[in-house]
Amino acid sequence: MNAKSSGPKKEILLDSALDVLHKESVEWTNIIAFWKDESKFFTDLLDKEKVNNSEYGQMLQYLDKIHESLFDYLAADIVDHERLLSRLVRGEEGLSDKDYREKHATLKEQMDLFTNDFREFKKMVFGYAKKL
């Protein structure tokens, strides 16, 4: 099936087998679980009196809390996405393979964006921790 898309990557995604998309969703879930563990480490790292007394340290702590909330939202979206796949595979009426694939592409974009943003956040935390 070929669908209108904004580029070759999206065309490849739309042509992927559903099991490949499922594996990617599982991988995303594992990545988010790892990020949550990293976030706990950052919380412990930043949970020091010296950090708490600085505005920058407090800002990093707030960002860490925001990331944790975003992890939960993103993980919930992926779980819902996997439920839709399950219903699609069972052949439930009224479900669209195209809608599933478009949602998958959107989740992929969100994961890519969040991966880059979280990488930058980690650089900030480590850079700040080195100065302590």
């920058």: which residue's tokens?
56
* Burial class of residue 104 in the structure, from the number of CB atoms within 10 Å of its CB (0-12 exposed, 13-18 middle, 19+ buried): buried
Count CB atoms within 10 A of the CB of residue 95: 15
Residue range 95-128, pLDDT digits in tens: 888 889 999 999 999 999 999 988 998 898 888 8
Contact 19, 103 (CB under 8 A): no
Residue range 17-72, pLDDT digits in tens: 888 999 999 999 999 999 989 888 887 877 776 666 777 777 877 888 888 888 99
**pTM of this structure:** 0.75
**What is the torsional sign of CA 12, 72, 115, 5?**
positive
CA dihedral 19, 23, 25, 26 (to 10 degrees): 130
